[in-house]
């Protein structure tokens, strides 16, 4: 992917000497070939240590700079290809100058300063060039005719070809006779045009006094801040000290002006340790076609992006395209349709993309893994590409879960307090991924509960059926016994036969039940064998195993496959043994046949007895009917018992799953409580955020109304119930007790009567017995389950601090106060990109500079994409990338375009900022004169 045109950090060393230096340690090449070879080794050393830029700064000499620049341009990568310009070592030609009174400074020229002009630079300073073929430079002679740093700038600016193409960095070391920080140099420090200085070494050497001076808080030094570059002062062939220390400097184009801009914005453009850069950012948006903007391709910077332009040029449009592409849900800012960002964005897509079949692609990076979302306005299809994988269809929530951007439309920050959903989003956005994880577990638990509840219902049905069948079976057994006892005139042998009938039936029923259980066990064992076969096929060696553990991984896979194979073989062998034990002639089969024949023989004797008792035919017929019904009842009872046993204990599982669900609800609440406490801290006293636990009862209340609809319960009673629930110290815990009571009501028999002792919580919350009775008539198990799985949410509470320990409702604060507090928090948060359309419209003017200073640190932790008309936010906020929009045709507001992109150190970008945001240079200078600055 192409790199954006904005400013980026470069690891730089701005004081590097060459073999011509008088204190050089190592060989001193003289011929052009030898010097070219040295330059190649130097460039390779920079590549090896990760140095991106150097300034070649010999004393009053520029001979080696062209050699090193040429070597950097000709460097090849491991494939034998030239590095791209962005990947090459940047080489600034430079000179270490010694002025009158031993003032020492570095003169650093633009990286593209022409080689043929370098001798002229020395001539401009009246420096006699040294012999270019000499191995070593002569001793340094101070430039006594240059009496100050201001004088140095004056002499350089006398030449149009040099003016604006350099920067001067005085030596600002703590000690030494050539530093600007010597005693008695206050006046020159105040008057010098320099905005940066360099150290011979690390910033760790800066004393407390100089730290205050460099920070611009020492009045005796003019309260003048000075940006500091730490340098290595390297001068050895082994490059041991090269880049140690380094300074990370941000620029878009490697020029002296870029370094000056870096000094002016040193808070965010200069770092003395590896800078922190957001790892989650939107990298690019492409629009195939738009009725308003036409085709668009914008590459974003990973830090601060400022979108500028006149009104109606497309600034808000491009932000809406980004948000639409990322499936961001625009929160509603008002009840009126036109004030609703969701409606407005839908109309934008409908009017500008659909007519031309527009397709939006948003590229974003998460921890160095590239992602692309492709969204088609005509078909509504959304596709996602992760890394090198192919595009795959996804849903909106999938995209939002990957990159949940934090975005606000125009004037939306100042309306957050008016809507609970916006306040909630403000709290949840920073921890959305954690919340999504919890919510996923909640959904899984809810699914298990729903699945298990079906087993609970079935278990209850079977338990009830078993109880009924047991009563029926006992009743029929007793009837059969009475009928047998009523048969008279029978021999003792016949009577014994009739009496033995229940025992034989019981044995037969038990054996039939056992046979069914055996068949079930064999079927399950065969299923296990098949499952083990599937497992074995999945135990292959994983792909892309690191070489150092490849043998161990292969050994583990082989051992596991052998384990499964052994287990599978053992079970199969056991099944075969069992099958053999049941074949004809085997002991089990012989015993079964013996018992079957004995029961058949008994049944024949039993029927013979009944035939001989012809005098009792009516009773015998009745007995036969009773015995037949008892046999059927016994069979059904055995089936239901077996089914019930197979279900296990779903009641215990229900209790455990319900406990897990409540624990997950509480985990979610705890996360939000922690986040509100963090927000309070981030606001630095402007607001106090907290969580009203269990107050988000609206979905539950709506479900409950639907649950008992048509019961005749008045709406006021339902209001009273939920008002009482909201007043509980633990609404979630109380609601669990209410659900238990509602289920107990549901399970009551139709003619059963209950008292307030049965449902004490419902009664206490103002839902009386008469309404409970009415509600019972509409309750169903499915309805109760839906109600039980409707989550109770927490609601955030924001308060604004007017003065110490005095707070007012956040909604009572002014729009500017609300927006200031919220933006302060947003800029202190880390994580996902922050997109705001014209934040200045929500802010009071006097707080804009405070926002600017917070932007400097914010963009290290999260990507910022702001559309703005405020020059302070763009210029002083030090946007890494400025994207300027304009009308396609001047005076025609029917279409916009991207006019240019770049950083503030690019002259064309500065000119555009001046034109668009300041009304032009003339207007800016006129205001400056009127203010008297």
pLDDT in tens, 839-880: 888 777 778 888 999 999 999 999 999 999 888 899 999 999
Q: What is the average pLDDT across 140-155? A: 95
The values of phi and psi at residue 854, to 5°, are -75, -30
What CA–CA distance (Å, rounded) separates 682 from 671? 16
- For the CA atoms of 445, 449, 452, 453, the dihedral, rounded to the nearest 10 degrees, stands at 180
Q: Per-residue pLDDT tens for 6-28?
A: 999 999 999 999 999 999 999 99
In this prediction, residues 776-799 reach a mean pLDDT of 89
User: In which band, very low, low, confident or very high, does the pLDDT at 315 lie, cut at 50, 70 and 90?
Assistant: very high
Q: Please report which residue ranges of 801-847 form alpha helices under DSSP H.
A: 815-828
Question: Strand runs (DSSP E) across 89-157, as ranges?
Answer: 90-98, 104-109
Size of the chain in residues: 933
Q: List, in order, residues 6 or more apart from 218 with CB less than 8 Å away.
A: 209, 212
Return d(Cα 874, Cα 868) in angstroms, integer.
Answer: 7
H helical segments located in 538-616: 550-580, 587-612
Q: Is the pLDDT of residue 331 over 60?
A: no
Of 21, 15, 22, residue with least CA distance to 57: 15
Determine the average pLDDT of the residues in 174-193: 92
Better-predicted residue by pLDDT, 669 or 538: 669
Lowest mean pLDDT among 330-344, 482-496, 745-759, 844-858: 330-344
Question: Taking the domains of the chain in order of start, what are their residue ranges?
Answer: 8-271, 280-321+332-402+874-931, 453-652
Write the CB contacts of 626 (distance below 8 Å, at least 6 apart in sequence).
Answer: 476, 479, 480, 483
Per-residue pLDDT at 493 exceeds 50: yes
Mean pLDDT: which of 82-96, 493-507, 554-568 is highest?
82-96
Instruction: State how beta strands 270-271 and 247-251 pair.
Output: antiparallel
Question: Rg of the Cα trace of the chain?
Answer: 43
Output the CA–CA distances (angstroms, integers) from residue 73 to 14, 40, 66, 253, 287, in the order listed.
19, 10, 11, 16, 35
**Could you tell me the pLDDT band of residue 603, with boundaries at 50, 70 and 90?**
confident
pLDDT at residue number 933: 65
User: pLDDT, tens digit, for every residue of 674-723?
Assistant: 999 999 999 888 889 999 888 888 999 999 998 888 888 899 999 999 99
The yes-or-no verdict on residue 416 having pLDDT over 90 is no
**Maximal C-alpha separation, the chain:** 151
Name every residue whose Cβ is closer than 8 Å to that of residue 101 and which is 6 or more positions away in sequence.
147
Give 613's pLDDT tier (boundaries 50, 70, 90): low
Burial class, 162, CB count within 10 angstroms (exposed 0-12 / middle 13-18 / buried 19+): buried
CA 339 to chain centre: 29
Domain 8-271, CATH? 3.20.20.140
CA dist., res. 300 & res. 295, Å (int):
16
pLDDT above 50: residue 335:
no
Nearest to 785 by CA among 450, 288, 295, 551: 450
pLDDT over threshold 70, residue 264: yes
pLDDT of the residue at 334: 46
Output the DSSP codes for 418-437.
G-HHHHHHHHHGGGHHHHHH
Residue 171 is given by DSSP the state B
Q: Which of 31-35, 371-375, 804-808 has the lowest mean pLDDT?
A: 804-808
Tell me if 8-271 shares its fold with 280-321+332-402+874-931: no
pTM of the full predicted structure?
0.80
pLDDT for 1: 52
| CA–CA dist 786, 253 (Å, integer) | 62
For position 489, what pLDDT does the model report? 64
Q: In this structure, which topology does domain 280-321+332-402+874-931 adopt according to CATH?
A: Rossmann fold (3.40.50)
């Amino acid at each position: 992917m192409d790199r954006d045109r904005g400013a980026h950090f470069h690891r730089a060393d701005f004081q590097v000497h060459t073999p011509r230096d008088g204190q050089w340690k190592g060989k001193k090449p003289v011929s052009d070939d030898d010097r070219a070879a040295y330059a190649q080794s130097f460039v390779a050393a920079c590549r090896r240590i990760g140095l991106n830029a150097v300034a070649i700064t010999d004393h009053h000499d520029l001979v080696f700079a062209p050699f090193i620049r040429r070597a950097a341009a000709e460097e090849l990568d491991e494939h034998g290809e030239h590095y791209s310009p962005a990947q090459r070592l940047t080489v600034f030609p430079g000179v270490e100058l010694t002025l009158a009174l031993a003032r020492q400074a570095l003169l650093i020229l633009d990286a593209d300063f022409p080689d043929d002009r370098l001798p002229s630079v020395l001539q401009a300073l009246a420096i006699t060039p040294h012999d270019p073929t000499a191995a070593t430079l002569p001793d340094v002679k101070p430039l006594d005719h240059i009496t100050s740093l201001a004088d140095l700038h004056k002499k350089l600016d006398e030449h149009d070809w040099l003016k604006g193409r350099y920067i001067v960095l005085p030596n600002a070391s703590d000690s030494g006779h050539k530093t600007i920080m010597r005693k008695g140099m206050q006046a020159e420090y105040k008057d010098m045009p320099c905005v940066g200085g360099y150290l011979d070494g690390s910033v760790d050497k800066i004393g407390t006094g100089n730290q205050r001076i460099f920070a611009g808080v020492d009045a005796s030094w003019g309260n003048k801040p000075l940006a500091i570059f730490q340098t290595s002062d390297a001068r050895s062939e082994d490059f041991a000290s090269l880049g140690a220390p380094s300074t990370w400097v941000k620029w878009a184009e490697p020029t002296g002006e870029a370094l000056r801009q870096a000094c002016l914005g040193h808070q965010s453009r200069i770092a003395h340790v590896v800078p922190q850069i957001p790892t989650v950012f939107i990298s690019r948006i492409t629009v195939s076609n738009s009725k308003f903007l036409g085709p668009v391709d914008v590459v974003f910077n990973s830090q601060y992006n400022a979108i500028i332009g006149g009104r109606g040029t497309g600034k808000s449009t491009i932000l809406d395209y980004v948000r639409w592409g990322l499936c961001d849900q625009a929160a509603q800012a008002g009840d009126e349709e036109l004030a609703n960002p969701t409606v407005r964005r839908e109309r934008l897509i409908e009017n500008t993309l659909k007519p031309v079949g527009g397709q939006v692609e948003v590229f974003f990076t998460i921890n160095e893994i590239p992602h692309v979302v492709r969204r088609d306005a005509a078909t509504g299809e959304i596709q996602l590409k992760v890394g090198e994988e192919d595009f795959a269809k996804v849903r909106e929530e999938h995209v939002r879960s990957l990159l949940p951007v934090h975005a606000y439309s125009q004037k939306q920050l100042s309306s957050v307090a008016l809507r609970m959903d916006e306040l909630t989003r403000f709290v949840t956005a920073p921890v959305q991924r954690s919340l999504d994880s919890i919510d996923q577990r909640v959904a899984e638990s809810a699914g298990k509960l729903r699945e298990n509840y079906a087993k609970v219902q079935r278990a209850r049905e079977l338990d009830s059926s078993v109880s009924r069948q047991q009563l029926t079976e006992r009743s029929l057994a007793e009837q059969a016994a009475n009928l047998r006892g009523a048969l008279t005139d029978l021999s003792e042998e016949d009577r014994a036969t009739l009496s033995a009938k229940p025992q034989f039936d019981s044995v037969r029923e038990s054996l039939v039940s056992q046979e069914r259980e055996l068949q079930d066990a064999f079927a399950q064992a065969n299923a296990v064998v098949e499952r083990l076969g599937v497992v074995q096929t999945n135990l292959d060696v994983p792909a892309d195993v690191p070489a150092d553990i490849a043998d161990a991984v292969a050994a583990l896979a082989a051992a596991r496959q052998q384990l499964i194979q052994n287990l599978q073989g053992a079970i199969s062998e056991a099944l075969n043994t069992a099958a053999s034990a049941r074949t004809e002639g085997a002991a089990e089969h012989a015993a079964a046949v013996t018992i079957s024949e004995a029961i058949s023989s008994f049944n024949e004797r039993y029927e013979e007895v009944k035939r001989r008792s012809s005098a009792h035919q009516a009773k015998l017929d009745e007995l036969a009917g009773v015995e037949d019904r008892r046999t059927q009842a016994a069979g059904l009872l055995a089936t239901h018992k077996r089914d019930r046993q197979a279900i296990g204990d779903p009641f215990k599982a229900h209790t455990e799953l319900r406990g897990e669900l409540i624990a997950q609800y509480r985990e979610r609440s705890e996360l939000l409580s922690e986040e509100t406490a963090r927000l309070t801290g981030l606001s630095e006293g402007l607001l106090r955020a907290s969580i009203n636990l269990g107050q988000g009862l609206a979905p539950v209340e709506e479900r409950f109304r639907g649950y008992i609809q048509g019961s005749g319960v008045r709406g006021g009673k339902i209001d009273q119930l939920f008002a009482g629930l909201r007043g509980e110290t633990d609404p979630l815990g109380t609601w669990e007790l209410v659900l238990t009571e509602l289920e107990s009501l549901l399970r009551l028999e139709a003619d059963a009567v209950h008292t307030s002792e049965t449902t004490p919580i419902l009664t206490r919350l103002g839902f009386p017995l008469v309404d409970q009775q009415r509600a019972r008539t509409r309750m169903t198990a499915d309805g109760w389950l839906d109600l039980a799985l409707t989550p109770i949410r927490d609601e955030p509470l924001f308060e604004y601090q007017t003065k110490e320990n005095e707070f007012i409702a956040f909604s009572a604060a002014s729009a500017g106060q609300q927006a200031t507090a919220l933006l302060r928090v947003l800029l202190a948060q880390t994580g996902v990109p922050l997109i705001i359309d014209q934040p200045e419209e929500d802010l009071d003017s006097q707080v804009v500079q405070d926002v600017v200073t917070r932007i400097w640190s914010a963009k290290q932790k999260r990507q910022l994409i702001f559309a703005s008309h405020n020059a302070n936010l763009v210029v002083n906020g030090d946007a890494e990338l400025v994207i300027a929009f304009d009308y396609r045709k001047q005076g025609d507001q029917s279409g916009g375009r991207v006019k240019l992109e770049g950083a503030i150190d690019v002259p064309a970008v500065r000119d555009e900022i001046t034109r668009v945001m300041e009304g032009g240079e003339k207007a800016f200078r006129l205001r400056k004169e009127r203010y008297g600055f």
